[in-house]
Amino acid sequence: MTLADSVREPAPDGAETTAPPRDAALPADPPAPGDAAAALVEADLLVEDVSIDGMCGVY
Amino acid sequence: MAAHAGTAPSAATTPAFDLDRPLALDGKVALRPEPFGALAYHFGTRRLSFIKTRKLLAVVESLGEHGSGRAACVAAGVTDAELPAYARALATLQASGMIGERGAS
């Protein structure tokens, strides 16, 4: 079974139809405000700087 | 006028940062890959940066092979949606001296 086959759905009359392309799919549920905030925080934290000055002796 | 990341400048984005300029890892920086991404250590400033994704590591490692930071991002698979965040990350790395404009003293 190919990927194209997997998106085909049999019509009630037996004819074969093809599911709409992904671009035409219904939009997903909008993200909750908390999810958006979490994504924003994650995006801003791709880099985190620290200075190790003064850490001598920690180990 | 060079295009920037496509978003308004953030606090983390220095005015001098330009994603369309040729960038390179500073010669005094060592990268150590880690499961979460990588550690970058600058032997001159003794600063340590956590690079928190493998994709950003790929971008940083390949900066010297591309004509611009944007090209390095695209080559590493950074999507249009991710590009603003990666531009901010590169701006942060430039501000801390981990990367700089190629050819700049």
**SS3 sequence of B39-92:** EEEECCCCEEEEECCHHHHHHHHHHHHCCCHHHHHHHCCCCCCCHHHHHHHHHH
Tens digits of residue pLDDT in A14-34: 454 444 445 444 445 555 555
**Where is pLDDT greater, at B98 or A29?**
B98
Tens digits of residue pLDDT in B9-68: 444 444 579 999 999 999 999 999 999 999 999 999 989 999 999 999 999 999 999 999
The answer to whether the Cβ–Cβ distance between A47 and B56 falls below 8 Å is: yes
Q: Which helix (H) or strand (E) holds A49?
A: strand A47-51
Model confidence, pTM: 0.64
Question: Considering CB atoms only, which of A47, A52, A53 is closest to B92?
Answer: A47
Residue of B53, B54, B80 to mutate for A, most A C-beta atoms under 10 A: B53
* Residue A47 per-residue DSSP state: E
Residue of A40, A44, A47 to mutate for B, most B C-beta atoms under 10 A: A47
* CB-based contact, A54 to chain B, within 8 Å: no
Rounded Cα distance, B24 and B14, in Å: 17
